[in-house]
Amino acid sequence: MRVGMGFDVHRLVAGRELWLCGVKLEHDKGLLGHSDADVAIHALCDALLGAAALGDIGKHFPDNDPQYRGIDSRILLRNVVKLLTIQGYTMVNCDITICAEQPRIGPHVPAMRAELARVIGCSSNNVSVKATTTERLGFTGREEGIAAYAVVLIDNK
């Protein structure tokens, strides 16, 4: 068994859709990025790659590569899971924490868990999504961006 962790931040700007854990949220701002900027999926991808010592998301999907422009991050996650499968790894569980002042994440957690489980190909029992504000402190508290952390366990069998 191996553990991995991931962390990511994206800037919140007007005129972008807000995608978190493969779910589109209604909000007056969205995350800026080369892809759909799903910060939670990016953290999860980095945790999975880290657990397998396979580098990071920037190595596998460079943000200056036109083929990833505007890409649905669920495709990146699916590809990361495939890379791990090739190495003989399966994900045991993952635990994601999203740091955002707005919008409220809680009501969307069941849909997020279900969608990530669908993409990964596991039970939603093995996918945890949590959210916290940062008490209006820092860039997340000022709603300048959203941060996400992910921890995963993988097993080689």
Residues at the contact surface with Mg ion, assessed by CB under 5 A: 8, 42
Min dist CB 102 to Mg ion, Å, is 20
Return the number of the residue (42 or 108) whose C-beta is nearest Mg ion.
Answer: 42
Return the number of the residue (8 or 115) whose C-beta is nearest Mg ion.
Answer: 8
Whether 19 contacts 37, CB under 8 Å: yes
Min dist CB 29 to Mg ion, Å, is 16
CA distance 62 to 91: 24
Name residue, tokens 């953290």: 43
Min dist CB 38 to Mg ion, Å, is 8
CA distance 95 to 110: 14
CA distance 116 to 53: 22
Min dist CB 10 to Mg ion, Å, is 6
15 token code pair: 């005129």
Return the number of the residue (34 or 125) whose C-beta is nearest Mg ion.
Answer: 34
Return the number of the residue (11 or 92) whose C-beta is nearest Mg ion.
Answer: 11
What does R_g of the chain's alpha carbons equal in angstroms?
15
| Closest residue to Mg ion using C-beta atoms | 42
